[in-house]
């Protein structure tokens, strides 16, 4: 998925990504065939079903769930009742599907798994965004994602009101402590930044700083953002003062929900939170056959 799509105000999932996600989930769940539905449900049985949320939250994953049903059986009719980014209430129907009962039951778990996981991410992101409301700080995701699900998980973050950081190693320069350890002095880093500035197409440049002293020389390199890693509140406040709007600032490292507000009050532009994707609680959904 392209970074510009991920960072749009209303994210859009590419058709190829949706189909790949649907096929991957169905491949591991259905396998050669759904043996239980095959022996218990007559071939021509037609039914209508709906997906209901059991918890309050922020919805994400509707295009993926729809893709699962359509990939299972193109003849299924899917009616979307609530769109992604919507706030949903327990007991609310979000999607209806009609057609072969065998197909509906075969698709059920894969569709629900995506909705549960992605809505969990969107809901948690919304909670973090609300925590810093009233400040200039925005919530960023990270690359701490489930292997193979990064694009979908970053989409869910955006549904919850968060901002996507780089998608991968290819769409932004981010020089971290292990990169900086290779260089003997700041002068060598100047040459690296100059080389990065000549990259075509242009990419943003960010450099990690672990100390206030590092911030003092990094800010002179004319880059886009400085990552303030594992700093105390006092160090962050001092760093923001040194940066003085010459580039963006991002706080990272141990960013728990409880710490968010006091970190935002230091004046940083962004706070990056790995917990949005690496340890989120799923939102409960169920599929009910109604006729």
DSSP state letters, 244-283 = TTSSEEEEESS--TTTHHHHHTTT-SEEE-THHHHSPPPP
**What is residue 281's predicted lDDT score, i.e. its pLDDT?**
95
**251 & 285 share domain:** no
Residue 77 has pLDDT above 50, yes or no: yes
Residue 46 lies in a domain: yes
**Local confidence band at 8 (pLDDT 50, 70, 90 cut-offs):** very low
Residue 1 lies in a domain: no
Query: 108-128, pLDDT tens digit by residue?
Result: 999 999 999 999 999 999 999
Residue 70 has pLDDT above 80, yes or no: yes
Domain holding 30: CATH number? 3.90.1170.20
Work out the angle at residue 50's Cα, subtended by the Cα atoms of residues 158 and 289, and round it to the nearest 5 degrees.
Answer: 150
**Local confidence band at 183 (pLDDT 50, 70, 90 cut-offs):** confident
Catalytic residue among 153, 208, 250, 269: 208
Is 229 tagged catalytic? yes
Domain of residue 152 covers 130-278
Residue 61 lies in a domain: yes
**106 & 141 share domain:** no
Domain holding 273: CATH number? 3.20.20.70
Residue 162 has pLDDT above 60, yes or no: yes
Number of structural domains found in the chain: 2
Catalytic residue among 19, 30, 82, 109: 109
Residue 3 lies in a domain: no
Catalytic residue among 127, 138, 143, 176: 176
Work out the angle at residue 101's Cα, subtended by the Cα atoms of residues 100 and 105, and round it to the nearest 5 degrees.
Answer: 125
Is 225 tagged catalytic? no
Question: Which run of H or of E encompasses 186?
Answer: helix 186-197
Residue 193 lies in a domain: yes
**118 & 24 share domain:** yes
Residue 187 has pLDDT above 90, yes or no: no
**267 & 147 share domain:** yes
* Preceding omega of 201 cis (within 30 degrees of 0): yes
Residue 50 lies in a domain: yes
The mean predicted confidence, pLDDT, of the chain is 94
Residue 2 lies in a domain: no
Query: 239-273, pLDDT tens digit by residue?
Result: 999 999 999 999 999 899 999 999 999 999 999 99
Catalytic residue among 71, 229, 250, 269: 229
**120 & 22 share domain:** yes
Of the candidates 273, 260, 258, 264, the residue with the CA atom closest to the CA atom of residue 240: 264
**40 & 174 share domain:** no
**What is residue 248's predicted lDDT score, i.e. its pLDDT?**
98
CA distances from 139 to 91, 135, 246 (A): 29, 11, 20
Is 208 tagged catalytic? yes
pTM, rounded to two decimals: 0.93
**257 & 123 share domain:** no
Residue 264 lies in a domain: yes
**219 & 238 share domain:** yes
**285 & 259 share domain:** no
What is the full DSSP assignment across 109-158?
HHHHHHHHHHHHHHHHHHHHHHHTBTBS-EEE--S---TT-HHHHHHHHH
Catalytic residue among 19, 127, 143, 144: 144
**46 & 141 share domain:** no
């Amino acid at each position: 998925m392209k970074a510009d799509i991920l960072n749009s105000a209303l994210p859009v999932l590419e058709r190829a990504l949706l189909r790949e996600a649907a096929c991957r989930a169905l491949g591991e769940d259905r396998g050669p065939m759904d043996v239980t539905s095959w022996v218990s449900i007559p071939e021509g049985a037609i039914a209508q079903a709906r997906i209901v949320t059991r918890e309050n939250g922020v919805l994400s994953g509707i295009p993926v769930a729809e893709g699962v049903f359509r990939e299972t059986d193109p003849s299924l009719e899917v009616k979307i009742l609530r769109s992604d980014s919507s706030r949903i209430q327990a007991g609310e129907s979000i999607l209806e599907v009609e057609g072969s009962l065998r197909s509906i039951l075969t698709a059920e778990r894969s569709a629900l798994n995506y909705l549960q996981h992605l809505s969990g991410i969107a809901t948690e992101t919304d909670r973090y965004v609300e925590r810093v409301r009233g400040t200039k700080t925005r919530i960023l995701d990270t690359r701490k994602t489930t292997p193979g699900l990064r694009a979908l998980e970053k989409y869910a973050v955006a549904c919850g009101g968060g901002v996507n950081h780089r998608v991968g190693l290819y769409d932004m320069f981010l020089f971290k402590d292990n990169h900086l350890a290779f260089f003997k002095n700041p002068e060598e880093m100047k040459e690296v930044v100059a080389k990065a500035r000549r990259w075509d197409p242009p990419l943003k440049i960010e450099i990690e700083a672990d100390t206030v002293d590092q911030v003092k020389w990094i800010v002179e390199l004319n880059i886009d953002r400085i990552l303030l890693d594992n700093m105390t509140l006092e160090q962050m406040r001092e760093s923001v003062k040194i940066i003085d709007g010459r580039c963006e600032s991002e706080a990272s490292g141990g960013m728990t929900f409880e710490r968010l507000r006091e970190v935002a009050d230091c004046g940083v532009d962004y706070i990056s939170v790995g917990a949005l994707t690496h340890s989120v609680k799923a939102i409960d959904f169920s599929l009910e056959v109604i006729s």
